[in-house]
Structure 1
Amino acid sequence: MTLGLHGEYKVHGGKLVVVDLDVVQGLLANVSVSGDFFLEPDEALADINNALNGRSVDLPATALAAAITEALPAGVVLFGFSAQAVAVAVRRALAKATGWADHQWEIIAPTVRPTVVNVALDEVLTEEVGAGRRNPTLRLWDWDEPSVVIGSFQSVRNELDPAGVERHGITVVRRISGGGAMFMEAGNCITYSLYLPQTLVDGLSFEDSYKFLDSWVLAALASLGVQAYYVPLNDIATDQGKIGGAAQKRLSNGGMLHHVTMSYDIDADKMVDVLRIGKEKLSDKGTRSAKKRVDPLRRQTGLGRTEILEHLMAAFVERYDARAATLTDGELAEAARRVEAKFGTRAWLERIP
């Protein structure tokens, strides 16, 4: 028997959900859901609590949310929260899911490295966090060669114009996560990677996990006057246009990679000379032109790239009490080994030709 467990979950753009409960013989007991949400009618709160009482502590969040949904009568209105949000709070009470404050976060400032090394580091550091050998970490990238980083499932032939790649001296590498190609000239992008345990997104849908993991950067941009928001699934945009995109990869050891590239400045003519961005790609974006689709941070803020980077790092440190960290010699050596064995090889780059 375990008494007095407590879990909280703040819905992105919504309300706080709090769950207090006991565990008796492996089952949830005395469940009490509260928060600053809205619920009509009042009696539905008892239905939510009753739907959870007696459930196994080993049920995943999806099953807990389904039990709540099934128990609610037709016409019940949940405003500012959801059955899924309650399930996440339950999982946090049971220590099967975690929140940001449950971890000691670290932050690695940008250092210029070859793009292929940055990609290899993403795999190495995700594995290290999953194995418990590194604290959850935010790492900011830097590089000095013009690059395109393609998604794990993209075709080299379909995404790139070889003549444009050769003409502009573009370095092309493939990353471990899905999503689209990232056109990255030195000094023209802001790229960061989060390495985290999957417990942080336990109970969240894939779509919600993107917004959840970037809530800090959206708030930091808002303080600079940039009102950014997510366009499902993984685009970050403002009313003036797209500013970036995110991608994720979950590893079998429990580690997770979430990374974002935002445009600071961009040579749009060069981008479309290198990338093959067809009409189908733009069909649901509300624009016919890839060049018009992107609106970089330099124009929207008037700030230098270094100023924006420093602001983002300070915001992350303040929000999550992150401490400064560096890459270890072992991590750098392992990244170099993987460049030779995987990320720097034609076999990996052209695994989907």
Structure 2
Amino acid sequence: MHGEYKVPGGKLVVADLEVVDGRLADVRISGDFFLEPAEALADITAALTGLDAGAAAAEITAALSAGLPEGTALVGFSIDSIAIAVRRALGVARTWRDFEWQIVDTGPVSPAMHLALDDVLARAVAAGTRPPTLRFWQWDRPAIIIGNFQSLKNEVDMEACRRHGVTVVRRVTGGGAMFVEPGSTITYSLYAPGELVEGMDFAASYAFLDNWVLQALNEVGIEAYYKPLNDIASPKGKIGGAAQKRYGSGAVLHHATMAYDMDGAKMEQVLRIGREKISDKGIASAAKRVDPVRSQTGLSREEVTARMIGTFTRLNGGAEGSVSAAEWQAAEALVEEKFGTEAWLAHVP
């Protein structure tokens, strides 16, 4: 049995093994990683040999942690990545290509409808009524989308929003506030089965789920890289940020917004971006925190999005899809019940 796992921004880990009487045997771990001392590779093999073939990722990592001598240095990989490679070899951890992805562009809709669609489509993937999906957003109006746990009054200048015609909504994921206008950003959501990130903590899954985006941006000339915990950045500054929610029913919602052509002056008026927020950025103006995609590519937003879709399908597969009538109806109801209500928006005043 053979399994591979490429650590985002790191090294390749390969597991070759057999199963004898329900337990791991003849285990070989290899790859282009660095390991000190080199003799620790034998300790990794010993820790894995004899484990129950049905062991969960946590059991595998616990065995590896207990089996490695103190002070062992794993560079470019981790015990979690070894566990993922082992489980892929066993056929119990799945990769992008193991799923039939749909790619959806819903066109311009209201901010509250976008948030409702996120919840509806993620739950549909969890229920098995929809295949894993990549959805691109288009905005029908200027908006601020604040994180689930942010204070409305601390983050948003509501008077400035009224003056500029900016709608304010709250999403289900954490993270910071985003200011968007039609045509100003590239926003997408992934609705993925939990199996895709099994064995990964939140930090590792952010890098894993955004890796295809970094490749797409690299291909259009942006030196993009992942900046923990949830930023997509370049040497010229931050490009965008991601947020994530894991559903107990078995799905991951992962969405990201990247600035294409941001009106920084308006953003500073409608968002209360304090000095503490930008104190570690080495800049005097919040408007300079985001380096728009347009300035680094010279491509239209539509061209960049098309290139992103091309990279995704080349790496992971995918076919054009759509939102069903029943899903639209469920999302509309959710706007009325939750995302379009003052109670939800102000649940953290």
What is the TM-score of this pair, normalised by structure 2?
0.95
1:26: how far off? 4.5
Paired letter, 1:233:
L
Distance, in Å, in 2 between the alignment partners of 1:135 and 1:286 is: 43
Question: Residue 175 of structure 1: which of 171, 174, 182 is its match?
Answer: 171
The aligned residue for residue 53 of structure 1 is 49
User: What's the secondary structure of 2:108's corresponding residue?
Assistant: coil
Distance, in Å, in 1 between the alignment partners of 2:104 and 2:187 is: 12
Long gaps (5+) in structure 1: none
Question: Residue 191 of structure 1: which of 169, 184, 187 is its match?
Answer: 187
C-alpha contact (below 8 Å) 2:106/2:323 kept by paired residues: no
1:169: how far off? 0.8
Distance, in Å, in 2 between the alignment partners of 1:258 and 1:186 is: 21
Q: In the alignment, does 2:231 pair up with 1:235?
A: yes
C-alpha contact (below 8 Å) 2:112/2:335 kept by paired residues: yes
Q: Which moved more, 1:11-20 or 1:212-221?
A: 11-20
Distance, in Å, in 1 between the alignment partners of 2:63 and 2:200 is: 16
Question: Residue 321 of structure 1: which of 317, 320, 323 is its match?
Answer: 317
CA RMSD of aligned residues (A): 1.7
User: What's the secondary structure of 2:109's corresponding residue?
Assistant: coil
Distance, in Å, in 2 between the alignment partners of 1:282 and 1:58 is: 47
Distance, in Å, in 1 between the alignment partners of 2:302 and 2:272 is: 30
Q: In the alignment, does 2:127 pair up with 1:127?
A: no
User: What's the secondary structure of 1:50's corresponding residue?
Assistant: helix
Long gaps (5+) in structure 2: none
The aligned residue for residue 154 of structure 1 is 150
C-alpha contact (below 8 Å) 2:3/2:85 kept by paired residues: yes
User: What's the secondary structure of 1:55's corresponding residue?
Assistant: coil
Question: Residue 20 of structure 1: which of 16, 32, 44 is its match?
Answer: 16
User: What's the secondary structure of 1:276's corresponding residue?
Assistant: coil
The aligned residue for residue 106 of structure 1 is 102
The aligned residue for residue 33 of structure 2 is 37
Distance, in Å, in 2 between the alignment partners of 1:132 and 1:284 is: 43
The aligned residue for residue 141 of structure 2 is 145
1:267-324 Cα shifts (integer Å, max 9, x gaps): 1111011011112212333333211211111111111111111111111112212111
The aligned residue for residue 165 of structure 1 is 161
1:25: how far off? 5.0
1:70: how far off? 2.9
The aligned residue for residue 74 of structure 2 is 78
Distance, in Å, in 1 between the alignment partners of 2:283 and 2:53 is: 48
Q: In the alignment, does 2:339 pair up with 1:343?
A: yes
C-alpha contact (below 8 Å) 2:36/2:72 kept by paired residues: yes
Distance, in Å, in 1 between the alignment partners of 2:27 and 2:283 is: 49
1:235-285 Cα shifts (integer Å, max 9, x gaps): 111111111100000001011100000000111111011011112212333
1:349: how far off? 1.1
Q: In the alignment, does 2:85 pair up with 1:117?
A: no
Distance, in Å, in 1 between the alignment partners of 2:310 and 2:279 is: 38
Distance, in Å, in 1 between the alignment partners of 2:336 and 2:202 is: 32
What is the TM-score of this pair, normalised by structure 1?
0.94
Distance, in Å, in 2 between the alignment partners of 1:225 and 1:218 is: 11
1:24: how far off? 4.4
Change (3 A) 1:288 1:232: farther
Q: In the alignment, does 2:288 pair up with 1:271?
A: no
Question: Residue 7 of structure 1: which of 3, 11, 34 is its match?
Answer: 3
Question: Residue 225 of structure 1: which of 221, 228, 238 is its match?
Answer: 221
Distance, in Å, in 1 between the alignment partners of 2:71 and 2:139 is: 54
Paired letter, 1:200:
L
Distance, in Å, in 1 between the alignment partners of 2:163 and 2:332 is: 28
1:67: how far off? 2.4
Q: Which moved more, 1:201-210 or 1:335-344?
A: 201-210
Distance, in Å, in 1 between the alignment partners of 2:37 and 2:337 is: 60
